[in-house]
Each structure stands twice: as C-alpha cells, then as structure tokens.
Amino acid sequence: VDLAFGAGCLLLSRHSRIMGRTLESKQQVVAQLRQLLDQADLALVLDYKGLSVKEMGDLRSRLREYSGTCKVAKNSLMRQAIGTDSAWTGLDPLLTGANAFVLVKDDVGGAIKAVQAFQQETKKSDIKGGLLEGRLLSEEDLKAVGKLPSREVLIAQIAGALNGVATQLAMAIKEVPAGLARALQQHADGEALSPPPVD
C-alpha cells in the first residue's frame, strides 16, 4: 500500500511539475506578446496552415528587415496579451483557427509588401486581416498600405525636400548682404543728389 501510495505521489509530483512548467511557459508567451504589442504600430493575422518550418523561417527573416516579427500563438494567449487594451481589442473577430501574428514596429508598408511577396511566392498563408491604430484593415486597405513607399524612400523624399528648402534659404540669405549693400548705396546716392536742408 505504501509503495503504491509512494508511486502515486511521485506521479502526481511529476504531473505538477509538468503543469507548472506549462503554465509558466504560457505566462512567458503572454508577456512576450504583450511587449510586442506595446511596441507595434501594426498587427496582421495570418492563417499559417500548410507553412513548413523552413517557410516560417523565411517569412520571419523577410520581416526582420522592416522591424517586424512573426509569432505563432494560441488565440487564447493573444486574447490574454491584449486584455483590455483598446488599441488591440479590435483583433478579437480575427482570433479563430490557426493563426500567426505579424507585429510591425516602424515600416508598416515595407512589412506588408514583404508578406504579400512571400504569399505570391509560396501561394500559402492568407491574411485574415490587420489592425492599425485601432482600426481593422480590409483586404483593400492592406493593398493600399502595401503600395505606400518604404520608410527609406519616404526618408529620402523628405530629406530631398528639406535639402531643396535649405538650398533656397541659403541662396536667399546669401542675397541679403548684396541686396542690403545695393539698398544702402541707393540711399547714399539719393542723399548725395538731394539739396542740403535750409536753415
């Protein structure tokens, strides 16, 4: 009896450790998802069924270039990570089936283009939808955002525009002394031509 009881305790103890570890790992996943959501500007929900480990690795490496990451997690864990955060509660209707979550920090357009290029090449992984600044994105919205210039192109365009303004400003400033000298010369010439004041 004691032996049977001892074996039962051992089994229960081992079961508790496994359950404890599982609970701890779930909490770690939730904490990691919450941290990623806190930093993200965009969340995409992908149906990842049919993707191999190699293909998932390929997608993740493409997203890294655009400050994006792809996480596979249970919908229940994503719900826990979202909690009552109004910025992300709009994802709830998309949390069905087997999902991978693409979370992007900066280059939203570049990340969407990367996902779309990946889908065209693999013919897998539909985008269920996305959320940007609390707004659910339709398929058309995602296409429109995907057509936006990349962050690097936008920065280059802004720098070019600023450079043009700076050049114009520099030329205008350079002209100030010459213009001032001309104005002073005209004033001096005018005084020389005018008759002296009468006492």
DSSP state of 105: S
How far apart (Å, rounded) are the C-alpha atoms in residues 149 and 132? Answer: 17
Q: What is the pLDDT of residues 118-169, one digit of tens each?
A: 988 988 888 899 998 888 888 788 888 777 665 555 556 566 666 666 666 5
Q: What is the pLDDT of residues 36-47, one digit of tens each?
A: 999 999 999 998
- Inter-residue contact 69 to 60 (CB < 8 Å): yes
How far apart (Å, rounded) are the C-alpha atoms in residues 71 and 106? Answer: 17
The pLDDT value given to residue 172: 58
Radius of gyration of the chain (CA): 32
How far apart (Å, rounded) are the C-alpha atoms in residues 46 and 53? Answer: 15
| 181 pLDDT higher than 60 | no
How far apart (Å, rounded) are the C-alpha atoms in residues 34 and 80? Answer: 9
Q: How does the average pLDDT of the chain come out, rounded?
A: 76
Question: Within 13 A of 63's CA, how many CA atoms are on the CB side?
Answer: 24
Q: What is the pLDDT of residues 102-121, one digit of tens each?
A: 999 888 888 999 999 998 89
How far apart (Å, rounded) are the C-alpha atoms in residues 110 and 116? Answer: 10
Question: Of 124, 105, 129, 109, nearest to 59 (Cα)?
Answer: 124
| 14 pLDDT higher than 50 | no
More confident residue, 174 or 26: 26
For residue 166, give the amino acid letter. A
